[in-house]
Amino acid sequence: MEKPIINYETLIRITKAISMIRDPEEIVLITVEGVTSALKIKGCALFLFSAKTEELKLVSSYGLSKEYLNKGPVSALRSIASALEDGQPVAIYDVSDDPRIQYPKAAAKEGIASILSVPIIIGEKITGCLRVYTAEKWEFTLDDVNFVQAVAQVVGMALEMCRINKGLKDSIDILKTMRDPKTLKSKKRTPYEGVPKSFARKDIAHVST
């Protein structure tokens, strides 16, 4: 499998697009789409951590089926937990043979071979994680990890600004706001300006699903 070359221009395009948005739903959509396109991988998902339930709550994803996304609650203690415990990226080369995967059968059925999980950190607080999924076994390079880490940092800061601007107490409250029927937009348009590549939207999992 030929891997794409990730350069600073690609990173700048994605982060610039994120920084220009004020709507949290569009921020996460542009993030998961942009990372998937830039790395040319199967998909990407963004989760926020709920301290109350010790679960990772799905905010948005791209390229993953509804069946896989609805496989069950994602435990912060069982699903690649070290990414949240240590605050360091964790790369899973073979999801079918790694005890850190919470739902290995569901991953195999989805056609996922490898996963990279990168924590989203604001200050010293871990607020969630950004995960990328590949259809073939992938040895993630330092460039791959640094790229996803950089995007995770930017989207984390963007969501934190949204939280502050909306007067919310916790990052997970952003997800609650996005799912509120009173604030949820019927038609969501993602601004593609600056994103490396245009692509179909059919595999996007909106927070309302």
pLDDT at 205 over 70: no
Q: What is the pLDDT of residue 151?
A: 94
- Residues 8 and 38 sit within 8 Å (Cβ to Cβ): no
Q: Across all residues in the chain, what is the average pLDDT? A: 81
pLDDT at 193 (0 to 100): 41
Tell me how far apart the alpha carbons of residues 132 and 31 are, in angstroms, rounded to a whole number.
11
Q: How confident is the model at residue 180 (pLDDT cuts 50, 70, 90)?
A: low
Residues in the chain: 209
Q: Which domains does the chain have, with CATH numbers?
A: 8-184 (3.30.450.40)
**102: nearest Cα among 39, 155, 55:** 55
Q: Give the percent of the chain with pLDDT over 90.
A: 43
Q: What was the pLDDT predicted at 23?
A: 87
Write down the pLDDT at residue 166.
84
Instruction: Quote the pLDDT of residue 57.
Output: 92
- Most distant pair of Cα atoms in the chain: their distance: 46
Query: pLDDT tens for residues 64-111?
Result: 999 999 999 888 767 676 667 778 899 999 998 898 889 999 999 999
Give the pLDDT band (50/70/90) at residue 42. Answer: very high
Poorest-pLDDT segment among 51-65, 138-152, 184-198 = 184-198
Q: Is the pLDDT of residue 139 over 80?
A: yes
Compute the distance between CA of residue 34 and CA of residue 192 in angstroms, rounded to an integer: 9
- Please report the pLDDT score of residue 95 as a whole number: 93
Confidence of residue 195 (pLDDT cuts 50, 70, 90): very low
DSSP the chain: -PPPPP-HHHHHHHHHHHHT---HHHHHHHHHHHHHHHHT-SEEEEEEEETTTTEEEEEEEES--HHHHTS--EETTTSSTHHHHS-S-EEES-GGG-TT-S-HHHHHHHT--EEEEEEEEETTEEEEEEEEEESS-----HHHHHHHHHHHHHHHHHHHHHHHHTT-SSTHHHHHHHH-TTT--SS-----TT-S-----TTEE-TT-
**47-51, 176-180, 184-188: which has the minimum mean pLDDT?**
184-188
